[in-house]
Amino acid sequence: MSFPNFPDKEQSEPIMKPEDTIEMRRKFGRFPAIDPPKWIGLMFEK
């Protein structure tokens, strides 16, 4: 996916926000119907 290459592009209003993506996935049945985990552990390996 290419992104527009112009100065101050981070200052403009986004087309979609993360909340919009979740809402759309729920609407079309593409969002898991499970409870989110209570915690997540990240393990880093050298």
Band the pLDDT of 1: cuts 50, 70, 90. Answer: low
What pLDDT was estimated at residue 38?
A: 94
- Give the pLDDT of residue 7: 80
* pLDDT at position 36: 83
Cβ–Cβ under 8 Å, residues 31 and 20: no
For residue 2, pLDDT over 70 is answered with no
Angle, vertex CA 17, rays to CA 44 and CA 41, nearest 5: 20
Tokens representing residue 39 in the block:
């915690």
pLDDT at 8: 81
Summarised one tens digit per residue, pLDDT across range 7-44 is 887 788 888 899 999 899 989 988 888 888 899 999 99
